[in-house]
Amino acid sequence: MKMSKLALAKKQIKEMTRRGVKVRFVSCGKVLIDGLPFSFSVASGGEPSQKGVVVSFSGEPVENGTLTLGTIEMRYSRSGRAHSETKKLVRIEKSDGKHIYQAKFPSASLEDYQPTGKKADSEMFLADITSAYTFKVTPTFKEPKDAEVMVTVYPIADPLAGLAVEWRDCTSDKDWFEHNPDAFRQTSKRKSK
């Protein structure tokens, strides 16, 4: 049975606004630079979950082996105490034959997120910081030409509907920011969710 364009659009809007268990990027580094720490933070974007999150890196540089990642550190604070956990990023082959780096953090619990609909202010920023998980990884990338890598974080409870994705450049140019002075004024080239 064919669905009308209007019915399909309504169905897609309903799915997009469904609460569910979701994560969202609070912050994300601009570029992965060979040998320098890269960090990003995520927080809940929906219903609470105690099942944890998965972090993955994919794209051509992972597939062809020019980007290598060793460990990833997760930092967070709860009840005024700082916590950290380090995991090995494992290069795995997916069912489609492509490769990704992946680490699971089952201890990451997501709190209930209630968007206010208001413009972001310092109070909202503070709430994001106190509930966020910050991840840090140091890439190895020796290629002379930059490449794109996809940074994905998803809740174990709802991997498809709850994921957050950012695309970032990967470079061996240690002076990338000096060579790209407008980088902070530009938005991401592409953003999936």
pLDDT in tens, 124-183: 666 666 678 999 999 999 999 999 999 999 999 999 999 999 999 999 999 988 888 887
8 in a domain, yes or no? no
What's the rounded Cα separation, in Å, for the pair 67 and 15? Answer: 35
Domain range for residue 127? Answer: 19-185
User: Mean pLDDT across the chain, nearest whole number?
Assistant: 87
Per-residue confidence (pLDDT) for residue 1, from 0 to 100: 56
CATH number at residue 98: 2.60.40.1510
7 in a domain, yes or no? no
pTM above 0.95, yes or no: no
44 in a domain, yes or no? yes
6 in a domain, yes or no? no
Q: What would the mean pLDDT of 51-71 be, rounded to a whole number?
A: 97
88 in a domain, yes or no? yes
155 in a domain, yes or no? yes
Number of domains in the chain: 1
Q: Over the range 126-161, which residues count as b (16 or more CB within 10 Å of their CB) and which as e?
A: ebbeebbbbbbbbbebeeeebbebbbbbbbbbbeeb
31 in a domain, yes or no? yes
12 in a domain, yes or no? no
